[in-house]
Amino acid sequence: MRPLIALFAAASLATACSSNPSAPDETQAPASVVNAALNLMLNSFTSSFNKSVSSRGVGRGEIRPLVQVFVQPPDQRVACSGGGYVSTSATMSGNVSNTTGEGTVNWQSYQSFIDCNLGGGWTIRSNPYESFGGTIGLFANHTSLNVRVSGGGNIFQNDRVVGTYYWTGVLLQWDNLTGWSNSGQFCVTPGPVCAKL
């Protein structure tokens, strides 16, 4: 498997339920903010995954087959456009054959929006983090990834909480034969305003 560099095509956006402009507590985040937040989180996941996989050369013919695999790359920070950052920590662990290098390993990472300013006064903060968990399959010439995403937090407009964000039914799937096949949505309230994967 080649390191995954540019993974996700731009998310298509779906909006529903317009806000009442006269009610200040019903300020609705614009679709551009929702899309930017989703892309930041997915890019942080991708970067963490690439570092974990490349640290062992998994699936590139460079791995020396091991009975146990445990990779814990250093925590990462990805800057947000207006300040703050996305924090990521990850582990990859499991067993592979000591003769073929085949097997299944577990992926677990935690990511948080830390006062992530997306411009226009919009900031998001995780409560406390997003969880990315699943498996990586290594078999002959087939490498696959299946990861579920959950978690949520608050969205702020000019330092005032105006809503929440959450992941719904998100499954990230990739393999070296067919590429990405993702499902689910990243949404913010009120609205909701959602970005489909």
- Residue 141 has a pLDDT of 83
Rounded Cα distance, 190 and 187, in Å: 9
Read off the amino acid at residue 60: R
pLDDT at 169 over 90: yes
Is the sign of the CA dihedral 54, 55, 57, 58 positive or negative?
negative
- Residue 6 has a pLDDT of 31
pLDDT at 4 over 60: no
Q: Is 64 exposed, middle or buried (0-12, 13-18, 19+ CB in 10 A)?
A: exposed
- Residue 67 has a pLDDT of 54
> What would the pLDDT profile of 82-137 be if each residue is shown by its tens digit?
999 999 999 989 888 877 778 899 999 999 999 999 999 999 999 999 999 999 99
Q: What average pLDDT does range 55-83 have in this prediction? A: 68
Q: What's this model's pTM, rounded to 2 decimal places?
A: 0.75
Return all residues near 160 (Cβ < 8 A) that are at least 6 apart.
Answer: none
- Residue 129 has a pLDDT of 93
- Residue 58 has a pLDDT of 44
DSSP state of 6: S
| 136 and 104 Cβ atoms separated by less than 8 Å | yes
> What would the pLDDT profile of 6-64 be if each residue is shown by its tens digit?
333 323 323 333 333 333 345 888 899 999 999 888 888 888 877 776 654 444 444 44
How many other CB atoms are there within 10 angstroms of residue 167's CB atom? 20
Rounded Cα distance, 125 and 188, in Å: 12
pLDDT at 5 over 90: no
The angle at the Cα of 157, spanning 169 to 192, to the nearest 5 degrees, equals 30
Q: For residue 95, give Cα distances in angstroms to 1, 44, 101, 148.
A: 18, 26, 9, 21
Rounded Cα distance, 49 and 164, in Å: 27
- Residue 65 has a pLDDT of 46
Q: What average pLDDT does range 161-180 have in this prediction? A: 93
pLDDT at 151 over 50: yes
- Residue 23 has a pLDDT of 36
